[in-house]
């Protein structure tokens, strides 16, 4: 690994000391890759507080990808599958608009009952990013994940009319 790549990997690993680092990814397509949980810690019942994340830098790219996957629960899948297609489509179209407004990338894989939310951080001319920028990106993705989960729970519980779905600012 070249010196700049090694330095970047070291910086990101240092930034991740404030998370629960789970795994270092080893893939020839990547300059670096880590899986982690953010925020770290457990609730009183002993369940993790955080969400799973991945940070990667693909070779020959000038940015980091920070992503978090969401798997739709069996309970919500059953409820969604019992609805008319138009209602489900409208819900996911509203989530799409929310993600676009929050300036994150996303990929819905509804055949496999999951989606992922992604943010990119582009490097400055010195090929570095600040810790503040790094964590702002993580928090932006985390906010979109939590928002989408809460909206899905509300939608599936029938607590609101789909036309009430709007972006929380």
Q: State the CB neighbour count (10 A cutoff) for residue 130.
A: 12
Q: Is residue 169 part of a domain?
A: no
Per the structure, the complete domain to which residue 151 belongs is given by 3-164
Q: Is residue 69 part of a domain?
A: yes
Q: Is residue 72 part of a domain?
A: yes
Q: Is residue 104 part of a domain?
A: yes
Q: Is residue 141 part of a domain?
A: yes
Domain count, the chain: 1
Contact, 98 vs 147, CB < 8 A?
A: yes
Q: Is residue 117 part of a domain?
A: yes
pLDDT tens digit sequence for 10-22: 999 999 999 999 9
pLDDT tens digit sequence for 118-149: 999 998 877 779 999 999 999 999 999 999 99
We report the CATH number of the domain holding residue 118 as 3.30.1460.10
Tokens of 133: 């920028």
> pTM higher than 0.75, yes or no?
yes
């Amino acid at each position: 690994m070249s010196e700049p790549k090694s330095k970047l990997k070291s910086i990101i690993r240092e930034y991740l000391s404030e998370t629960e680092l789970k795994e270092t990814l080893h893939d020839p397509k990547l300059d670096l890759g880590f899986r982690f949980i953010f925020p770290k810690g457990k609730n009183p019942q002993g369940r993790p507080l955080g969400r799973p994340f991945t940070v990667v830098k693909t070779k020959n790219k000038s940015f980091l990808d920070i992503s978090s996957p969401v798997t739709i629960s069996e309970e919500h899948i059953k409820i969604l599958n019992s609805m008319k297609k138009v209602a489900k489509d409208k819900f996911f179209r509203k989530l799409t608009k929310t993600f676009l407004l929050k300036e994150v990338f996303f990929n819905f894989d509804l055949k496999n009952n999951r989606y992922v939310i992604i943010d990119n951080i582009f490097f400055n001319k010195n090929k570095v990013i600040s810790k503040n920028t790094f964590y702002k990106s993580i928090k932006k993705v985390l906010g979109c994940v939590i928002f989408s989960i809460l909206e899905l729970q509300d939608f599936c519980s029938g607590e609101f009319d789909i036309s009430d779905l709007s972006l929380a600012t």
